[in-house]
Amino acid sequence: MGNGTLDFTSFGTGATSLGGTDLNAQASVLAGDSLGLSGMSHNGAFAQIDLSTAGMADLSLSFATRRTATGFSNNRVEAWIGGSWTLVSTFSGPTTTWEVITVDLSALNALENGLASLRLVFDGATSGSGNIRIDNLTIEGSAVPVPGAVALLGLAGVLGTRRRRAGAA
């Protein structure tokens, strides 16, 4: 498990807490509230995720989402790469049920084994009551072997081969 922060201060007065879901939740976690954003005056607002990815590669982002018919329908995921925000994926979200959005980040090597910054940018609301909800956000990856461990594994393979040859003679 890593650590990080979720900053949604750009939501301003549009930030709200709405009913959530257990979709995409960790095992045995019950549905609670979700993070919501409402109002077309908040088009362009974003939630920023900054996290340590030390020891991790092949990352993916997933979260449950839903919106109202006049809610944020033109949304995107961006990653901080090379000193600027880079578009990674777009999503809309359904208007009647929750849906899990999964974004494959494995091709973005700049996010691996260090620090990563991602943004969920929300746009496309067409009324003051239009909203979107985000719940059970998860970032996962596979473990990166420590360089010393890789060298030890290689050395163990060489020694194992050498012993077998010496015993066979």
Domains of the chain: 4-144 (2.60.120.260)
Is the model more confident about 27 or about 51?
Answer: 51
SS3 at position 77:
strand
Strands 99-104 and 33-38: unpaired
In this prediction, residue 145 has a pLDDT band, given cuts at 50, 70 and 90, of confident
Cα torsion 12, 72, 86, 107 to 10°: value is 120
Nearest to 76 by CA among 43, 40, 41: 43
What is the predicted pLDDT for the residue at 27? 84
Q: Note the pLDDT tens digit of each residue in 49-88.
A: 999 999 999 999 999 999 999 999 999 999 999 999 999 9
What is the predicted pLDDT for the residue at 148? 56
Q: Note the pLDDT tens digit of each residue in 115-125.
A: 999 999 999 99
